[in-house]
Structure 1
């Protein structure tokens, strides 16, 4: 498995030297106060341009992880790997890189780390040579017993090469005594808990798997008669592929030269897909669980207008994630929609780093106020969610400095009061503003004239449900309710951690 030259880790660290400027927000202002995307996976079987198509699919899934990207291909004789820190386009838009990934089958992954450091050995797909041949795996989600299993594996002699929970799956498959590979794979999945959508590659098969509750999404597609697996339908759209169906919760789908075989080794359970796929993670043009993400977010905004409207002149979205909800709010309330905040889409970590004095002039601004749209007006800001509140505070101040007469703030989701253990990088409870302050305190902190969140029942109604059924919630909504759909084994373990696991423990 090749690990070719990559950018230095130091070059990947975000600059944090920017000072506040009243009418603009910088990239560093958003650090620690936004929901971090999870990961995205893609796989294709039996296509002569497998690696190039996988790279395009990963481009469409870039919103799910911007720290690193990787592709593993198989040419019928050997596996080939390219893994890099940085964006998909930084590496996989180059012809020479794609040419180093020959073969008709490939799997790919874009990453935002929720366990493990941002270093090259953690970049997926991970690969290992097993006694039955090569095995590559890419994982979207988070194992809630990954650290516990890791300790057991190390005690039994396993030599871990990364600090990511995904490697546990490789070792569980390798240690299984079953004869058939699919039985070894199933045995490994029976041992893990938490959220996962997997794409896996062997020398004969492309395999997709989804956790028994369907917390993380995974869809099947078809291009030129060849099967595809992807985290979202937008990855199918970019390559002109046909959507076939969602991989069902608890299903393992295997593609080989004989076609597709579906395995359902787990007892059926009521599905609990993650509600944050609709609130934030999925791209607006994706279809998740049969629902248009864009239309759901508009419905969140419309419900928000029903629940907490105030008399204002314009509706202003916090770009980009707040835009669909703001459209829905505007359409329901009849208040005009205005782009009162302009986002600079051409700022990123690859932008040339000037001197500190130039940075302070706002060269790398991320958001700026559109004074013409808001000066002298009463505005209502719409955002998807609130985490620490520091960004919201800066945006409210930016609006006032640009001449807004009143600034009201609305969130198109309920207050986040509990941490996540399924792949969302959220602070512990003490770092969540809504977990430590009441509504009036939060309003004072961010400096708004009024503040309101979408209610939990309202969120469910916007999803087409009559409300939240406490006995049978249709979604994983634990960040709002504290009701976790799986065991949280790692969170209840008190066993001292071996020294060599300290990095993983700190990142978990």
Structure 2
């Protein structure tokens, strides 16, 4: 029923903007993209402005593959934006790499986008009827076409008008010849924060970037807000009436780096509290708690500490397998999981195990991991998940799979337990997740099918 595939939603994208006229902005952006690499591994790019024109370098691959020292040294300027991207199926093309750069009547502009525009096809058709020509297949180009179409007076005014047309989730950084702009969708689904530098500012998808660039965290960009950074400093505009915030819950569960803070919530602390809630809901009698590294680790530690059960490194991750790795042939697909994760038999032998992971998407990798832990000598394997069942696809910038490929859309928990081969399977409740996050201002659409933005 289910094909072999990743048991995780694909990462989305990461965006970064820097205004620092006295510093090497391209190199700072290059370092910042390393800190965002977990958000996208298919393409990377940097656009730089010297105040008169915009220069861009981008390509397919990891940051380390797209940029060299000599390339970074050639990107001279006072301000910059950067992007790392994971592309949905069918759009992993060089032309779709960002930032997108355009020449238009008012000058030049570059744009980098994290998220997904749910009415992009409708807008693309309308723009096409009015003579717009598209060079890519991505919704980000729809955004940049709207901005240029509305650019009669100020760029800020055209952004306000553009936001009124867009539906969906987005965090944008925009580079004009003389300014850097950041904006966030009215529900604040996708993250974007502000950092203050020695002379200037930084905008980033995650606060972990700020330490790399030497910036001090100021605040998150508010839902519906437009932030403009130029030679006079930082200015804020209300681009859209603020709606009820709906930060993506999966940022805290899986996507974001543990050392980030999003909308005043610590990612690592949120994950630890998910483990605490799992312990309250399912206090199992076992010998050892292990994690599926890395995103299950904080929750596993929270579970183990709450119940006073030892925590061990039962599964070891190979940290040198990445996007460019050539996957095994069809005949060797069983090797695929073991190349990335391997059971530590000396820790697992003759133990009753709780194994904690953050999510199950298709179930295939989970079943391999349960079998791996059993084969390493575990007497029992109880599988705990720090998110509710993912039963609905995401339309807001995280690439999950079609509903029929989501195992929780097809099977009940008992059926999933049988599929993965665990002695028991327990998901955190939706209420437990909200308690762990300490807020109900989050998007839970992939769990309950209630989409806050029309799709």
TM-score of the two chains, using structure 2 as the length reference: 0.95
Equivalent-residue separation in structure 2 for 1:99 and 1:53 (angstroms): 11
Residue 358 (structure 1) shift? 9.9
1:107 is aligned to 2:74 = no
| 1:355–1:211 CA distance, 2 compared to 1 (3 A) | closer
Indicate the larger mover: 181-190 or 366-375: 181-190
Q: Classify 1:480/1:222 alpha carbon distance in 2 versus 1 (closer, same or farther; 3 Å).
A: same
Name the residue aligned to 1:481: 448
Which residue of the partner structure matches residue 120 of structure 1?
A: 94
Aligned to 2:39: 64
- Superposed displacement of residue 376, structure 1: 0.8
Q: Is the 8 A contact 2:387 2:427 kept in 1?
A: yes
1:91 maps to what in 2?
Answer: 66
- Residue 231 in structure 1 maps to residue 205 in structure 2: yes
**More displaced 10-residue stretch of structure 1: 37-46 or 263-272:** 263-272
Asked whether the equivalents of residues 114 and 142 of structure 1 are also in contact (C-alpha less than 8 Å), the reply is: no
Question: In 2, Cα distance between the equivalents of 1:440 and 1:358?
Answer: 30
Matches within 5 A, 1:203-352: 203-350=177-324
Contact 1:116 1:164 in 2 (8 A): no
Cα separation, partners in 2 of 1:476 and 1:362, compared to 1, 3 Å: closer
2:281 and 2:49 map into 1 onto residues whose CA distance is 54
Does the aligned pair in 2 maintain the 1:115–1:165 contact within 8 Å? no
- Residue 353 of structure 1: how far off its partner (Å): 8.7
Are the structure 2 counterparts of residues 282 and 177 from structure 1 closer, same or farther at C-alpha, using a change threshold of 3 Å?
Answer: closer
Cα RMSD for the two superposed structures: 2.0
Do structure 1's residue 75 and structure 2's residue 50 form an aligned pair?
Answer: yes
* C-alpha distance in structure 2 between counterparts of 1:415 and 1:358, whole Å: 30
Runs of 4+ in 1 over 3 A off after TM superposition: 29-32, 349-364
Q: Tell me, yes or no, if the aligned pair for 1:143 and 1:192 is still in contact at 8 Å.
A: yes
Structure 2 unmatched runs, 5+ = none
The alignment partner of 1:212 has SS state of coil
Looking at structure 2, the residues matched to 355 and 111 of structure 1 have their Cα atoms a distance apart, in angstroms, of 26
Instruction: Kindly state the Cα deviation for residue 77 of structure 1 after the two structures are TM-superposed.
Output: 2.6
The answer for the alignment partner of 1:499 in structure 2 is none
- One of 409, 417, 422 as aligned partner of 1:448: 422
Residue 454 of structure 1, CA deviation: 0.2
Alpha-carbon contact 1:80-1:100 (below 8 Å) kept: no
Partner secondary structure for residue 190 of structure 1: helix
Contact 2:359 2:385 in 1 (8 A): yes
Number of aligned residues:
452
The residue matched to 1:238 in structure 2 has which SS?
helix
User: Which residue number corresponds to residue 160 of structure 1?
Assistant: 134
Q: How does 1:1-12 map to 2 (within 5 A)?
A: none
Q: Judging changes above 3 Å, is the alpha-carbon distance between structure 1 residues 180 and 163 closer, same or farther for their aligned structure 2 residues?
A: same
- The Cα of 1:180 is off from its aligned counterpart by 1.6
Of stretches 106-115 and 361-370 in structure 1, the one that deviates more from structure 2 is 361-370
Output the CA distance in 1 between the equivalents of 2:80 and 2:447: 38
Of stretches 182-191 and 353-362 in structure 1, the one that deviates more from structure 2 is: 353-362
Q: TM-score, normalised by structure 1?
A: 0.86
Relative to structure 1, is the Cα distance of residues 391 and 115 closer, same or farther in structure 2, using a 3 angstrom cutoff? closer
Shift of 1:355: 9.8
Q: Deviations over 1:212-249 (max 9, x none)?
A: 11101100002212111000010001222111111111
Q: Runs of 5+ in structure 1 lacking a partner?
A: 1-28, 466-472, 489-508
Does the CA contact (< 8 Å) of 2:163 and 2:240 recur in 1? no
Distance change >3 Å, CA 338–CA 134, structure 1 → 2: same
| Number of the residue aligned with 1:468 | none
> Deviations along 1:167-197, whole A, 9 cap, x unmatched?
0011111211532221112211211111000
Distance 2:336 2:414 in 1: 33
